[in-house]
Amino acid sequence: MTDLVVRRLLVDMKAPIARHWCAGDPFRTALFNALSMSFPVGEQFFIDSVRRGLKALPAARQERFRAEVQGFIGQEATHRRLHSLYNAHLEQSGLVNEWEARARERLQLLEGQDVRHWLAITAANEHFTAILADFLLHHPHLLGDRDPRLVTLWLWHSAEESEHKCTAFDLYQAVGGDHAWRIRWMKRITTIFLLDTLRQTLSNLKHDGTLWRWRTWRSAARFLFGREGLVRRTYRPWRAYFRRDFHPDQQDAAASRRWLAEHAHQYVPAGA
């Protein structure tokens, strides 16, 4: 069981966001903006999933998870709120969030489905966010320094994603979820997540006017497939999810703990 602290991040999201806030790089900016566009609807689904999962357990077993689920919900609700403010700036700049509408349509299909489906989907998505989070925490320079607010937002979000990466997975197992369902959903979520990320990133680049520039795709190739590239560094931890003996806590969370300790001045515990 994990002790999850709900934190209030000390950032001002009122000021506009620069066109290429991420190290002056159009591709990285478009990609991270795309991911942010998915978070409010995604975080709400994860919250709903763990709530349903907790209620599905016998009363005696609920106590084991109750505090952790409350912490998970508090953290995800805070992420949802701040990324909604972030996304409002993107909307004002003319970007169109196509990802959210597609996600809402898909989620309607899950109404009335077994809670194990909800938790398997959440666990798969949480694994994606956890490995991306670990990548960012080890490569913070990729965010640049043009907008310290967004650097802090992304690294704080990453640290907390790493911190609560076990919650949905453990609940899935507790309600009787098996290996076959877990793997089946990870395969589906991988396809959906990558396609949605690509589509929204391309849409953002098109609006930005940098979609057809050689420099954009040279940067993309380096960021994704270079020696320290995102795909090269996350493929192995993504693949680990398919092992029968996999558990999220096998992924080292030292970078998360270190960031939270070194940046304690940038947040306060909720209610403090």
Each residue's pLDDT, cut to its tens digit, for the chain (272 residues) gives 568 999 999 999 999 999 999 999 999 999 999 999 999 999 999 999 999 999 999 998 999 999 999 999 999 999 999 999 999 999 999 999 999 999 999 999 999 999 999 999 999 999 999 999 999 999 999 999 999 999 999 999 999 999 999 999 999 999 999 999 999 999 999 999 999 999 999 999 999 999 999 999 999 999 999 999 999 999 999 999 999 999 999 999 999 999 999 999 999 998 65
Cβ of 112: how many Cβ atoms within 10 Å?
5
pLDDT of 272: 59
pLDDT of 99: 97
- Whole-angstrom CA distances from 144 to 84, 135, 229, 238 are 22, 15, 16, 25
Is 154 buried (19+), middle (13-18) or exposed (0-12) by CB count in 10 A? buried
pLDDT of 149: 97
Residues 6 or more apart whose CB falls under 8 angstroms from that of 257 comprise none
pLDDT of 247: 98
pLDDT of 107: 93
Under 8 Å between Cβ of 97 and 90: yes
- For the chain, the domains span 23-264
pLDDT of 217: 98
In 3D space, the residue among 166, 149, 167 whose CA is nearest the CA of residue 82 turns out to be 149
What would you report as the CA-atom Rg of the chain, rounded to the nearest whole angstrom? 18
Structure tokens at 213: 């520039």
Under 8 Å between Cβ of 22 and 28: yes
pLDDT of 2: 66
The residue type at 127: H
Q: CA-to-CA distance for 116 and 172, rounded, in angstroms? A: 6
Q: CA-to-CA distance for 70 and 48, rounded, in angstroms? A: 12
Q: CA-to-CA distance for 80 and 47, rounded, in angstroms? A: 10
Q: CA-to-CA distance for 40 and 87, rounded, in angstroms? A: 9
Partner residues linked to 69 by β-bridges: none
Residue at token pair 């900016």: 29
Q: CA-to-CA distance for 202 and 27, rounded, in angstroms? A: 9
The full length of the chain comes to: 272
DSSP 3-18: -PPPEEE-----SPPP
